[in-house]
């Protein structure tokens, strides 16, 4: 078992991220040790409930089962979770427990942060993407017709409890979407300013076969490295004023791909990998990096055999990138590599990118 403690200024106390691979039936006790009030509501993904509901042992507890898919992360379901909490008369001392992927964590976290101005929240991420990214750092939210995650809050949980056994039932594509974010951490590692030298690119190169085979120890070590990097960033900049922006590496172009294909054709991780490749190409074009670093990055990315995404018309991509919530009116912001595992923020005009 690995414990990483998160110390964020806005939180009243440090909280742990626990990474374990014990039997799923032993998890309930651990989860409830952080739900110290009288009552709790479990928000759980439909798929996870089907596969692990019995083993988890929350059968006779108050449970809100959320259907799977990004479209469920909406205002209607948010309201339904709150109504359930009101019917149960949850008090501020009680807890909301999220068991599932990013959608469940985001919507339940937002409900927890707003119900009575905030009740205890415990995250149990069950996808690789949620383990390495969305469950860490306190971003919560729901989607609107105007865009994804446009309503939300920064709200830190009481604990994040990761059990790598949940990953065994992820299909290949779902698993690899998480690996897309893993690869991102490899290329931003030094900029994360983590005290420990973790060398994620080496770890990937030496362990990629075991990672793809879902070897429990390799997964535990991989998740631990990624979380240490993310925690290092969010402890220094919880609200994305500055350093946290580096976590958007690959996301400017990646989000445009997702929008262009209506969030249907590619997974988030696949789009982010394409965005990372775009960022490397742009960095070469702007003389920010040596071509050999780009070749090195290509080799690391190839280890996971991601789905290949074609180049879409740059004019269309630029238009979409300009509409991103992180863009300002005249410039498109990119996080680009400038040296091995070091990235910086750059702003380009539409013209810069087209010609
Ligand atoms: N997923 C990016 C962040 O948490 O800031």
Residues 6+ apart with CB under 8 A from 263: 70
Q: Is the CB of 39 under 6 A from ligand 1?
A: no
Please spell the DSSP secondary structure of 244-270, one letter per residue: GGGGGTTHHHHHHHHHHTTTTSS-HHH
Q: Which atom of ligand 1 is nearest to the CA of 233?
A: 5
The sign of the torsion formed by the CA atoms of 33, 36, 40, 44 equals negative
DSSP letter for 239, please: T
Testing ligand 1's pocket by substitution, the residue of 155, 247, 258 carrying the most ligand atoms inside 8 A of its CB is: 247
Q: Is the CB of 247 under 6 A from ligand 1?
A: yes
Q: What is the pLDDT of residue 12?
A: 66
Condensed to tens digits (0 to 9), the pLDDT of residues 243-299 reads: 999 999 999 999 999 999 999 999 999 999 999 999 999 999 999 999 999 999 999
Q: Is the CB of 181 under 6 A from ligand 1?
A: no
Q: Give the position of tokens 């394409």.
A: 274
Condensed to tens digits (0 to 9), the pLDDT of residues 308-355 reads: 999 999 999 999 998 876 667 789 999 999 999 999 999 999 989 987
Q: Is the CB of 226 under 6 A from ligand 1?
A: no
Q: What is the pLDDT of residue 147?
A: 85
The arithmetic mean of pLDDT across residues 32-40, rounded, is 95
Q: How far apart (Å, rounded) are the C-alpha atoms in residues 110 and 186?
A: 29
The arithmetic mean of pLDDT across residues 22-26, rounded, is 95
Residue 307 pLDDT > 80, yes or no?
yes
Condensed to tens digits (0 to 9), the pLDDT of residues 190-204 reads: 999 999 999 999 999
Q: Is the CB of 139 under 6 A from ligand 1?
A: yes
Q: What is the pTM of this model?
A: 0.96
Q: What is the pLDDT of residue 11?
A: 66
Q: Is the CB of 133 under 6 A from ligand 1?
A: yes
Q: What is the pLDDT of residue 324?
A: 74
Q: Which atom of ligand 1 is nearest to the CA of 244?
A: 5
The rounded percent of the chain whose pLDDT value lies above 70 is: 98
| Residue owning the nearest CA to atom 2 of ligand 1 | 247
Q: Give the position of tokens 């101005």.
A: 117
The arithmetic mean of pLDDT across residues 43-63, rounded, is 97
The arithmetic mean of pLDDT across residues 120-127, rounded, is 98
Q: Is the CB of 149 under 6 A from ligand 1?
A: no
Q: 106 C-alpha vs ligand 1 centroid, how far in Å?
A: 12
Q: Which atom of ligand 1 is nearest to the CA of 248?
A: 2
Q: How far apart (Å, rounded) are the C-alpha atoms in residues 205 and 163?
A: 24
Q: 88 C-alpha vs ligand 1 centroid, how far in Å?
A: 32
Q: Which residues are the active-site residues?
A: 117, 139, 181, 230, 240, 244, 248, 251, 255, 268
Count the helices and strands in the chain (H runs, E runs). Answer: 13, 11
Q: Give the position of tokens 């056994």.
A: 165
**Terminal alpha carbon distance of the chain:** 52
Q: What is the pLDDT of residue 327?
A: 63
| Residue owning the nearest CA to atom 3 of ligand 1 | 247
Q: How far apart (Å, rounded) are the C-alpha atoms in residues 255 and 233?
A: 21
The arithmetic mean of pLDDT across residues 140-147, rounded, is 92
Q: Is the CB of 255 under 6 A from ligand 1?
A: no
Q: Is the CB of 188 under 6 A from ligand 1?
A: no
Testing ligand 1's pocket by substitution, the residue of 137, 227, 254 carrying the most ligand atoms inside 8 A of its CB is: 137
Q: Which atom of ligand 1 is nearest to the CA of 137?
A: 4
Q: How far apart (Å, rounded) are the C-alpha atoms in residues 34 and 22?
A: 18
Q: 211 C-alpha vs ligand 1 centroid, how far in Å?
A: 23
Q: Domains of the chain, with CATH numbers? A: 2-170 (3.40.50.1970), 179-354 (1.20.1090.10)
Testing ligand 1's pocket by substitution, the residue of 156, 240, 242 carrying the most ligand atoms inside 8 A of its CB is: 240
Testing ligand 1's pocket by substitution, the residue of 248, 258, 271 carrying the most ligand atoms inside 8 A of its CB is: 248
Q: Which atom of ligand 1 is nearest to the CA of 240?
A: 5
The arithmetic mean of pLDDT across residues 146-155, rounded, is 92
């Amino acid at each position: 078992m690995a414990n990483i403690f998160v110390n964020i200024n806005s939180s009243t106390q440090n909280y742990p991220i626990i990474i374990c691979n014990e039997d799923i039936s032993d998890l309930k006790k651990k989860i409830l040790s952080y739900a110290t009030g009288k009552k709790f509501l479990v928000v759980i993904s439909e798929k996870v409930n089907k596969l692990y509901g019995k083993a988890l042992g929350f059968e006779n507890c108050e449970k809100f089962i959320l259907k799977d898919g990004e479209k469920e992360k909406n205002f209607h379901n948010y309201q339904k979770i709150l109504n359930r909490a009101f019917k149960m008369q949850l008090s501020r001392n009680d807890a909301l427990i999220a068991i599932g992927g990013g959608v469940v964590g985001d919507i339940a976290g937002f409900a927890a942060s707003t119900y009575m101005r905030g009740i205890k929240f415990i995250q149990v991420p069950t996808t690789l993407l949620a383990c390495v990214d969305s469950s860490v750092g306190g971003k919560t939210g729901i989607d609107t017709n105007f865009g994804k995650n446009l309503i939300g809050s920064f709200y830190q949980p009481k604990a994040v409890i990761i059990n790598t056994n949940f990953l065994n039932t992820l299909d290949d594509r779902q698993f690899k979407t998480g690996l897309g974010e893993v690869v991102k951490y490899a290329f931003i590692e030094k900029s994360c300013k983590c005290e420990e030298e973790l060398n994620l690119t080496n770890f990937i190169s030496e362990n990629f076969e075991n990672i793809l085979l879902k070897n429990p120890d390799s997964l535990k070590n991989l998740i631990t490295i990624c979380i240490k990097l993310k925690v290092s960033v969010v402890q220094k900049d919880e609200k994305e004023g500055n350093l946290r922006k580096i976590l958007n590496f690959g996301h400017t172009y990646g989000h445009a791909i997702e929008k262009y294909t209506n969030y249907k054709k590619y997974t988030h991780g696949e789009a982010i990998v394409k965005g990372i490749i775009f960022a490397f190409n742009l960095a070469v074009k702007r003389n920010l990096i040596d071509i050999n670093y780009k070749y090195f990055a290509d080799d690391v990315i190839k280890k996971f055999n991601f789905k290949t995404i074609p180049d879409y018309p740059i004019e269309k991509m630029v238009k979409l990138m300009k509409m991103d919530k992180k863009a300002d009116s005249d410039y498109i912001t990119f996080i680009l590599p400038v040296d091995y595992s070091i990235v910086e923020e750059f702003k380009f005009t539409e013209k810069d990118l087209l010609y």
